[in-house]
Amino acid sequence: MASIQPLPQLSVPAGTRGEDGLCRELGLLDATMINVGTIIASSIFIVPSAIAAAFTASFPTILVWVVGAVISLCGALCIAELGAAMPKAGGQFIYLQRAFGPVWGYLYGWGSSVVINPASIAAIAVGFATYMGFFLPLSSLAIKVVAIGSILLLTLINCFGLKVGAVTQNVVTLIKIAAVCALIALCLLLPGGSVQNVHPLWPTEPVSALIGPFGVAMIAVLWGYDGWIEITYVGSEMRNPARDMPRSILLSTVLVSLLYVGVSLAILYVLGREGAAKSPLVAADAMRVVLGTGGAAFITVAVLISTLGSNHGIVFTAARIPWAMAREGQFFSWASTLSPRYATPNTALIVQGIWSSLLVLLGTYNNLITCMIFVSFLFYALSCVAVIVLRRREPGMVRPYRAWGYPVTPVVFILFSIYLTGNSIIAAPKFSLIGAGLLAAGLPFYRYFVRRNGAAALRR
């Protein structure tokens, strides 16, 4: 298992303000719930259908979730090393800047702050509002209004201090975990399922014929696991980041892996592989078998909780990236302000909420996400490369936690990230080109920030 060696006397009393002015309130539970709550959105209730359709037997549909968990854990182990060594707000913005220079940190921050996170917030909010239609029939305009309302509500909650946001995330995530566990237990224990539905376990075709479908399924699975990095954005707001950040990253990845594999097994037990492959709302159909009409309502509530909790995690953490960039002179100065009372980056939070709401109105969020898909894993791969670079260039850097399995773990994750990035470019060259263009569009702003702030914008 990973070796975690916390530095002595790094823990501070809750509420203590760090050098950057942020309050250090978050403990291990808070950090773990931020990650778990962000990872588990709506994909686990839908994606098992597409994965089942990719194979002719049950075992590969389970194996792909296990392999996805291992790959995600490889990335998590590497990010945990960087996060424990550099526990500052901004996460990858800080790590890439340290390893490769200011422009690489800036490009990550630009893509995350202007495109990826606001578009993700908008898309998840619309998903939340769409599922609300199960209980309250909503027009297309009403869906947008509800979506924007949820964004503004989550933004408002996080403007009232770190502790309020953390408690909200903890409560929603614990309810979400309980709902997923209930789904697994009900499917496995109530009448309606059968071990026979899991057969056949082994595919009849040769292993070589499974390589293509397995790769396609892995893309969906790895996106389902995405979100384990969220706690790094609020590293300087943890009471003991050297100890708790790596532990929270590893705990959240393992916990979500167990839940995902459990849901996949439960669905196969009830619907079988063929039934799951034909079901667009696979979790709802499985629950309908064991609970009747009440099953659909149960899943709808679970999805509402999951999407709301996931969006809260992104709103909570993502605003720290432009805030950290602005403090380094690499973003608009208004983003660097903190609430004097609550010590939260309220201006960045509010602007993020307004921009995400505007994307809801424009309806462009899905296209933006598609355009930037390959960018996320490109930067994940660079962060794992950063672990290797910094180990060689700065062997004396204080590392409270060192990634287990080094150098195998970063290399494995880098290779899979390259595969994901390359597959995205091949499958959607138009959107990938637009995504690269959106990223490059930040370079003129970078030159402006450097000219305006001089050496401050190049501070490392």
- Position 8 scores a pLDDT of 37
CB 289, CB 132: distance < 8 Å? no
- Position 274 scores a pLDDT of 92
Residue 427 backbone zone (phi > 0: left; psi -120 to 50: alpha; other: beta): alpha
Give the angle 372-375-380 at the CA atoms, nearest 5°. 140
Per-residue pLDDT of the chain (460 residues; tens, 9 = 90+): 333 333 433 555 655 666 777 888 899 999 999 999 999 988 888 889 889 988 989 999 999 999 999 999 899 889 989 988 998 888 899 999 999 999 999 999 999 998 889 988 998 998 899 888 888 888 989 999 999 999 999 999 999 988 899 999 999 999 999 999 999 999 999 998 899 999 888 888 888 888 878 877 887 888 788 888 888 888 888 989 888 988 998 899 899 999 999 999 999 999 999 999 988 788 888 999 999 888 888 988 998 999 999 999 999 999 999 999 999 899 999 999 999 888 899 999 999 999 999 999 988 776 777 777 778 888 999 999 999 999 999 999 999 989 989 999 999 999 988 887 887 787 778 888 888 888 999 999 999 998 887 645 454 4
- Long-range CB contacts (within 8 A, 24+) of 50-53: 50/217, 50/220, 51/217, 51/220, 51/221, 51/264, 52/267, 52/268, 52/273, 52/274, 52/276, 52/277, 52/282, 53/277, 53/278
Query: Structure tokens of 227?
Result: 């979100």
Architecture of domain 21-458: Up-down Bundle (1.20)
Give the angle 423-424-428 at the CA atoms, nearest 5°. 120
* Phi, then psi, of 279 in degrees rounded to 5: -105, 115
Query: Structure tokens of 320?
Result: 């720290």
Q: Encode pLDDT of 120-136 as tens digits.
A: 899 899 889 988 888 88
CB 217, CB 64: distance < 8 Å? yes
Domain ranges of the chain: 21-458
DSSP for 9-57 reads T----TTEE-TTS-EE-B-HHHHHHHHHHHH-SSGGGTHHHHHHHT-SS
- Position 10 scores a pLDDT of 53
User: Which H or E run contains 3?
Assistant: strand 3-4
Does the N-terminal peptide bond of residue 407 adopt cis geometry, omega within 30 degrees of 0?
A: yes
- Over the Cα atoms of the chain, what is R_g? 22
Does the N-terminal peptide bond of residue 200 adopt cis geometry, omega within 30 degrees of 0?
A: yes
- Position 280 scores a pLDDT of 79
- Position 14 scores a pLDDT of 55
- Position 5 scores a pLDDT of 39
Which of helix, strand or coil describes residue 87? coil
Distance CA 17, CA 342 (A): 11
Chain Cα centroid distance, residue 449: 29
- Position 13 scores a pLDDT of 60
Distance CA 73, CA 418 (A): 17
Distance CA 147, CA 353 (A): 11
DSSP for 185-252 reads HHHHHSBTB-GGGG---S-SS-GGGGHHHHHHHHHHHHHHHTTTTGGGGBGGGBSSHHHHHHHHHHHH
Name the residue with tokens 């359709």. 53
- Position 3 scores a pLDDT of 39
* Phi, then psi, of 398 in degrees rounded to 5: -70, 120
Instruction: Encode burial over 8-18: b for 16+ CB neighbours within 10 A, e otherwise.
Output: eebbeeeeeeb
- Position 29 scores a pLDDT of 94
CB 283, CB 48: distance < 8 Å? yes
- Position 367 scores a pLDDT of 74
Chain Cα centroid distance, residue 321: 14
